[in-house]
Structure 1
């Protein structure tokens, strides 16, 4: 059995491992009841030039911190929720939905002093026409004190705590003091409109979105989406100083996420293109999956890639929804059979070009994936908008590398590459060079690793003749498939067997940075 033979089961193994860990996770935050009221539009009202929506159904879902709790429960975590609701119909409905999902609502306190925050979207003809927000108001000191008093019992024995602060005023200094006792011994993740007040906790992870990051930096991002990644990377020192977090993950909606380290950019994920259907709460899903994976002991970059996949799942659904382990299995399984024939690839790339996107092509054997590969593919993605990876077919690999290669057949290699969020499309070719593919695809940029030069490439003049540019990327020394294979072959048989599962997940999904240790109270089954 080859080292990565189990990659075919990666889509099932990782979500199953996540659910099997079943970590206890406490969510402390602002809870919301989301309403999705839909109907038809056939006329305008007489009083104003406004459409009349004839309501046909009313759907409700937990939102805000309650949505984070729902996603955690769907991923197999044992969830406790601490928050405030009013003694009203909305509060009762919200509690019932959470109870049905298996969330422990002992810490969800009902009080007559506030009303439950609701956000009702009015949808007509598949279009959100209006959102009606009914805010809870600022809780009294007594309510906040009661909320803080519920924190110790809820957090006791938890592998992780997620703080969801949307600025309602409920999570004041009293709640902060209650959580401070657990800082350093429990994985703390802060998802807040303003993470600065939570810096006293020295959280393990903060997850500001683009707007929140801009406010925190006192900056204005460039128009559109370009330049945001560079700006947050350049000013990462300010983010770490303001949040005092061990890791900062900036979520960039359609552009995925950026994991920052104090030395620079540590990892990128990319959102896969999807047609949004009035989706809401994808950020809650991302935070939930990231926390669940870290609480289960998974490496940081593995956790980020899983969280991005979970967010991709819910963005393609209408309303406020959750991503379960079954959803992750199905989604990742779909990626593992992603070798596109040339005609289908050309059709999809034509659609990307119509949207003004720049096409990047790279190719290689990618036999046993390692850090050099993933760093290289991340850099290639950053050269344009859409990354196409062309894999040498098995016969082509044998001609290039010798009769004992490839270690892994084409289907397995494609499944691994397709699982990386930086890769948009995977195809294959059996010729000794990708020249015929380049002539058909006509990429805007052709990328190769730093162990080549443009003068060495037979493809270079073809790329330029087709109107493209050749880019040579960084070379990561002492990282090669040959070295990995040689190391495996020289290990004792027992050591090789014991390291197989670790190599599969660590090499396939984890990439640019090392694997931070699991939090002290988290299970350590996956490293």
Structure 2
């Protein structure tokens, strides 16, 4: 997938987050002695840190991206609710909390010393009140008309006990709903647009998956059973798998290179996934961006966030890495296989491309429009000499490939030394073979191989008035 900067333009986009909001509180201090009262360490607290947690962390991640976000959840009528709201609002999150007189704001207190967690104390009670469910639903109903999407962030604390009704409200408002689920009953998420369990959560529902094929079968069955458009299973170091409508499963290797802390990685995935989906309308693109964002945050210590500028830089570096551009035929074969496994259509064309002109560029754009990836195979210098004569090529193979690599429509550039591209076509087995000129399909080299593998062969015309020969003749005048 080529990086599309418009996907990171969140102007006028608004996402609603609904779920279990929490306050993560950290007491930091040094330990230098044992208590005389009991055999425990004494921590001299020197710093207190408050962070939004749970669904509030998802909302904060969206705000860091530059997305307008409204957060709906249940809090107590206490000081911790005020602290949580202040933390969020100073980052631009609009809070519409349902306050409870009987329940405390869910708070997780961690005592830390020298970057080690000594103990965690949880202050919480499950939300079971019918009146609070009704109040929450009313707030969601009021917020949906201005939302481009809604995230339901379920931490099994009771805020989403009536999530089935909330999904129905979203569907009636024609607002896509994306769910980060919890628990052993996924029927409550029936009718959602996308559900994103991790592998453990997924296998809790469908049972252990010993093979990739078994995972695919069970995922398709689960998606169909509950009427989801898409299902995304995150598998830690094994990457992600997306089932999007009736398309072939899309596999993606994890983007993480070094993992320092997985805290908040799931929140990052659902936040970035939803943000990109509201601009691209394509889950496959949204998953790629979310995967890169998760790879970034797990490489940081503690809860980390990613901005749109950082994500744009990461995606630019990725699309300009050696997975794309000029590749040797054998290395390119592996990239093509991966693209085809993920349901992408690979288009192939070839030529000398000695002097690139507007006719070539227009031709490349036409060829790219026939699929998802475009491969251009270039004759080597020796091959060009045999075909065009001793005075050609004007530009060396290295220079010709460098120019082609810069053409936006082209994903990969490679080379071949024979007079015809027959061998490289049979090696790469593209889905679409394209040739420019006055050819008939039965005279195109490689056509028989592509057609016998279920592919297509297309003949395109160059832009009139341009040719390499005429440019060379004019230069010699």
Output the TM-score relative to the length of structure 1. 0.63
- The CA RMSD over aligned residues, in Å, is 4.2
Does 1:324 find its partner at 2:313?
Answer: no
In 1, the alpha carbon distance for the partners of 2:110 and 2:55 equals 18
Q: Are the equivalent residues in 1 in contact too, given 2:380–2:415 (CA < 8 A)?
A: no
Q: How far apart, in 2, do the equivalents of 1:378 and 1:280 lie?
A: 32
Distance 2:11 2:329 in 1: 38
Aligned partner (choices 107, 117, 138) of residue 149 of structure 1? 138
Quick one: structure 1 residues 115 and 301, their matched pair in 2 at CA, closer, same or farther if it must change by over 3 Å? same
1:31, distance to aligned residue in structure 2 (A): 0.7
Query: Which residue pairs with 1:233 in the alignment?
Result: 216
Task: From the superposition, tell whether residues 488 and 142 of structure 1 become closer, same or farther in structure 2 (CA, over 3 Å).
Answer: farther
Equivalent residue in structure 1 for 2:283, among 300, 311, 329: 300
Q: Summarize deviations over 1:368-427 as a string: whole Å, max 9, x none.
A: x99766236999xxxxxxxxxxxxxx99974598668537566889x978xxxxxxxxxx
User: Residue 62 of structure 1 aligns with which residue?
Assistant: 52
* 1:351 aligned partner: none
Residue 430 of structure 1, CA deviation: 11
Show the counterpart of 1:477: 431
Answering whether residue 343 of structure 2 is matched by residue 375 of structure 1, we say: no
Instruction: State the match for 1:119 in structure 2.
Output: 108
Secondary structure of residue in 2 paired with 1:115? coil
1:27-426 equivalent positions in 2, closer than 5 A: 27-45=17-35, 50-105=40-95, 107-173=96-162, 176-183=164-171, 185-194=174-183, 196-200=186-190, 202-217=191-206, 219-220=207-208, 227=211, 229-261=212-244, 265-335=248-318, 338=321, 363-364=330-331, 374-375=339-340, 398-399=380-381, 405-406=400-401
Check conservation: 1:35, 1:60, Cα contact below 8 A: yes
Deviation (angstroms), 1:244: 1.9
Alpha-carbon distance in 2 for matches of 1:171, 1:186: 18
1:97 Cα deviation from its structure 2 partner: 1.2
Deviations, residues 44-86 of structure 1 (Å, cap 9, x unaligned): 5556665444433222221111111111222222211111111
Secondary structure of residue in 1 paired with 2:146: coil
Return the structure number with greater relative CO, CA threshold 8 A, min gap 6.
1
Q: What TM-score results when the alignment is normalised by the length of structure 2? A: 0.69
Question: 1:354 maps to what in 2?
Answer: none
1: CA distance, partners of 2:459 / 2:82: 58
Tell me the SS of whatever aligns to 2:49.
strand
Q: For residues 275 and 134 of structure 1, what CA distance do their matches in structure 2 show? A: 33
1:218-274 superposed Cα distances (whole Å, 9 cap, x missing partner): x1356xxxx4x4432131233214432111000112222100246675212222334
Contact 2:435 2:458 in 1 (8 A): no
The answer on whether the counterparts of 1:286 and 1:311 sit within 8 Å (CA) in structure 2 is: yes
**Is the Cα contact below 8 Å between 1:313 and 1:327 reproduced in 2?**
no
Q: How many angstroms apart in 2 are the aligned matches of 1:309 and 1:138?
A: 35
| Partner in structure 2 of residue 441 of structure 1 | none
Task: Give per-residue Cα distances to partners, 1:271-319, cap 9 Å, x unaligned.
Answer: 2334434441111111111111111134221111001111112112222
Counterpart Cα distance in 2 of 1:449 and 1:53: 67
Cα distance in 1 between the residues matched to 2:322 and 2:55: 39
Task: Name the CA shift for 1:252/1:401 in 2 (closer, same or farther; >3 Å).
Answer: farther
1:157 positional shift: 2.6
CA distance in 1, matches of 2:426, 2:86: 60
| Unmatched runs of 5 consecutive residues or more in structure 1 | 341-360, 380-393, 418-427, 433-447, 453-473, 494-527
* SS of corresponding position for 1:97: helix
Q: Which residue of 2 aligns with 1:353?
A: none
- Between the aligned partners of 2:48 and 2:416, the Cα distance in structure 1 is 57
Task: Measure, in 2, the Cα distance between the counterparts of 1:79 and 1:60.
Answer: 20
- Which stretch shows the higher mean deviation, 92-101 or 107-116? 107-116
